Chain A
């Protein structure tokens, strides 16, 4: 599903070069639930952005569902993001002027799905995350936990095989956090591949596989039951 080979990322700020990822290789199979942990600044988000085709590697390759991302044009990458990947961000990243329903419809708009089908799907996924009674609320009229569930519904709207979540519980209280994690597990059972960045070791422990990153390198990769 996701194949990363010798991935490096170097940031240049002024005259100093900062290598954030050092020859990282990682293979994630369909329907895995992978938790990525590591200290702050170790390069977790950088790796995630690379998997999500939001950023381009300095060297090495990322292959998503048999598509080598380095050979794709920007529009093709946009299509991958639209059809293969659902993002859940720490800061929700909802569009503040659109209500819950419209936010969830967004990926389908860019896919060119017609209005009826779009609405139907958006309602379905908002119901799935338990927000069928908040569909016409603006993000500012929702609690943090509810906003993040809208973001989950949006990530799901395009029915992507891969869900990427970068510290999705970071801005939530522990109860909402737990609910969110259980939603992710349910999605995993439904067949989505989940990659989850977290600082919470308890959450990480529930994952089938835990990848530990330190200083831009993978220092351990353990599967549940190992």
Chain B
């Protein structure tokens, strides 16, 4: 008997007992689909978080300064000097505060950041219309503002804000640009803010102290050196490590990746267990099937079936059941992950490797758990099998 006939026989066997075959498959279907759904959620959120971190700018180092009472902070010049070293391609000191922005009758409470022209490249912040801050804006303390997309929408709706005048804390500013949308991250919306020249901000907020500096290293390799230099310089200046913090984007990424990677693995592992349970289901049913079909096995042996013919028949049946279960599981996993993604508004990523792995595993489950029953059937003595009632 060749392989084709064995497959035909297996399919006939499965069709002959549809309900049972389906219930047997169910274990594998649930196993495979949960593996795919859970892993896709895990990988999706990993991608989302790393995407957000990366969108903040590449090779980014953030220094935040916590002005403690009594300790003097950094002023703009000191902050620029801090960032002026080899290995650094740009530094954008930032002052922040909360302001009220008014256009006509509409008012919005939002956060304000005063920064310089470098911010655009360092923080990877593009404009969707208009222009970004220029050095001249900083030098001449221009009263110009870039609106975050949310702020722009609230104040202007669908109208064009460019070259309009808004009032920030009562002071007139000209809108020169709209910031490109960034979406929300762990820290809240990135689009609910306004940007003005740092020099203007010092006046407006009556605060010359820099609250943070975004520094971009030239290359990935420069990041560590620059971080070390910054830490040394900051310690010299502030004497106390509690007064400042240096965030390293690469480090943050690897931490996040590690955490979400572990999470994904754990989810996959839990789902894997259900696949295993599905396999045991197959074995159980196959054993029942062998017992039920003992007479059939006897008849087949009496007319010339060899051990390997019987073995093949049952093994192929187990593998066909688990493979069909695997394929259905992949389909359901696919739909489930898309459905869950849109339902919970999270991004899910189905990687081909996971699909292949889940399918391969389900076939393997069929072989592994089909082996024992198939072998049991193949070893039956013809006369014992024939006499079986």
A95:B299 contact, CB within 8 angstroms: yes
* B69, CB-defined interface residue at 8 Å: no
Q: Which residue of the partner chain B has the closest CB to A49?
A: B383
Q: In the assembled complex, how far is the CB of residue A31 from the closest CB belonging to chain B, in whole angstroms?
A: 22
* Residue on B nearest A111 in the bound complex, by CB: B304
Known A54-B386, A55-B383, A95-B296; judge A81-B302 contact (CB<8 A). Answer: yes
B residues apposed to A, CB below 8 Å: 1-2, 5, 12, 16, 295-296, 298-309, 381-383, 386
- Cβ–Cβ < 8 Å partners of B295 in chain A: 93
In the complex formed, the residue of A with least CB distance to B9 is: A109
Closest approach, in angstroms, between the C-beta of A91 and any C-beta of chain B? 9
Known interface pairs A74-B307, A95-B296, A97-B12; A54-B1 also in contact (CB < 8 Å): no
B177 to chain A, nearest CB (A): 76
Determine which of A74, A97, A109, A154 lies in contact with B1 in the assembled complex, contact meaning CB atoms within 8 Å: A109
Residue of A with least CB distance to B12: A97
A150 CB to nearest B CB, Å: 13
**15 A-B residue pairs with CB within 8 Å:** A49-B383, A54-B302, A78-B304, A79-B306, A81-B304, A82-B304, A95-B300, A97-B16, A106-B303, A107-B303, A110-B305, A110-B306, A154-B303, A158-B303, A158-B304
- Tell me, in angstroms, the Cα distance from A217 to B308 when the chains sit together: 37
Q: Would you give the 0/1 interface string for A63-81, flagging 1 where the beta carbon is closer than 8 Å to chain B? A: 0000000000011001101
A78 CA / B300 CA spacing, docked (Å) = 10
Kindly list chain A residues whose C-beta atoms are within 8 Å of the C-beta of B12: 97
Across the interface, A75 reaches (CB within 8 A) one of B1, B2, B307, B381, namely: B307
Tell me, in angstroms, the Cα distance from A54 to B298 when the chains sit together.
Answer: 9
**Please, which residues of chain B bring their CB within 8 A of the CB of A95?**
296, 299-300
A226 to chain B, nearest CB (A): 33
Nearest 4 Cβ contacts at the A-B interface: A82-B304, A55-B383, A110-B304, A54-B383
Chain B CB within 8 A of A83 CB = yes
Residues on B with beta carbons closer than 8 Å to the beta carbon of A97: 12, 16
User: Helix, strand, loop or mixed for chain B's interface?
Assistant: helix
| Chain A: CB-nearest residue to B296 | A95
* Additional A-B contacts beyond A93-B299, A94-B299, A95-B296 (12; CB < 8 A): A49-B383, A54-B301, A54-B302, A54-B383, A75-B306, A78-B304, A87-B303, A95-B299, A97-B16, A109-B5, A110-B1, A112-B2
Q: Tell me, in angstroms, the Cα distance from A111 to B5 when the chains sit together.
A: 12
A52 adjacent to chain B (CB < 8 Å): yes
The 0/1 profile, CB within 8 Å of B marked 1, for residues 83-112 of chain A is 100010100011101000000001101111
Beta-carbon contact of A81 and B303 below 8 Å: yes
Report B170 CB to chain A, min CB distance, Å: 89
Which single member of A52, A55, A110 contacts B309 (CB below 8 Å)? A110
Q: What residue in chain A is nearest B13 (Cβ atoms)?
A: A97
Determine whether the beta carbon of B302 is less than 8 Å from that of A87.
Answer: yes
* CB neighbours of A75 from chain B (8 A): 306-308
